[in-house]
Amino acid sequence: MNEQLLVAQLKDTRTAEQGFKTLMSLYKKRLYWHIRNMVFNHDDADDILQETFIKVYKNIDSFKGESKLYSWLYRIATNESINFLNKKAKTLQMDNLELQDYLIQNLKTDVYFEGDDIQLKLHKAIATLPDKQQLVFKMRYFEEMKYEEISEILETSVGALKANYHHAAKKIEQFIVKH
């Protein structure tokens, strides 16, 4: 569906609900995996995804179309996930790295984690990266997004993203070889 039409549908009270259903059906999986890759736990990802869609519904009038709709959605989802992680770190009195380690440890007993030692090692390796590199790496590696799409969402140049991804991949490789 044409993005402009969808936005118009969402902004019109008579068609908003139908538009919202279309929006969710188009983006629910992509946004879910984006969030899940950041927060690891399914229930947390579910809460954040629902909150993301509710925010979209409540704030669609403030969407001026200056960026693409999907990049606006991803930005909301990313911010919601970061806020969640910050709150969780504060509650557990941990810094970001400790929290990542804690979340990855929890995966071992998570029924919705089907990975083995290799996957755990990969997550541990990603957790050692700076926040922005983690995000770029996950969007490119797990979500298989194009650099141009990531660039729109994170408002970073494609060149900088490629450099980010390159450094991230190198560091992860080194980590996996060492451990």
Partner 1 sequence: MSHDELKHITPTLHKIAKNGNGFTVPDGYFKSLEIPKIDSGLSVPEGYFDTLESKVLDKVAIHHKKFGISKMLIAASFTLLLAFIGFKYFPKGNDIQYAEIENWIENGTIDINSYELASLYQEEIDNISFTDFISQEEIENYLNNDINTLYYIE
Binding site residues, partner 1, CB under 8 A: 17, 20-21, 24-25, 28-29, 32-33, 36-37, 40, 42, 46, 49-50, 53-54, 57-58, 107, 112-116, 118-120, 122-123, 141-142
Which residue, 160 or 162, has its beta carbon nearer to partner 1? 162
In the complex with partner 1, the residue whose CB is nearer, 140 or 150, is 140
Of 21 and 157, nearer to partner 1 (C-beta) is 21
Phi-psi region of 125 (alpha: psi -120 to 50; beta: other; left: phi over 0): alpha
Least Cβ distance, residue 28 to partner 1 (angstroms) = 5
Nearest one of 150, 157, 155, 124 to 135, comparing CA atoms? 150
Closer to partner 1 by CB, 75 or 121: give it. 121
Please state the closest distance from residue 45 (CB atom) to partner 1, in A. 9
CA-CA distance, 177 to 39, in Å (whole number)? 25
Residue 41 host element (H or E) = none
Give min distance, CB of 157 to partner 1, in A.
25
**Residue whose pair of structure tokens reads 């980010």 in the numeric block:** 164
Q: Are 138 and 126 in contact (CB under 8 A)?
A: yes
Structure tokens at 6: 């969808």
Nearer Cβ to partner 1, position 160 or 175? Answer: 175
Smallest gap from Cβ 23 to partner 1, in A, equals: 10
CA distance 70 to 100: 27
C-alpha radius of gyration, the chain, whole number: 17
**Least Å distance between CB 138 and partner 1?**
8
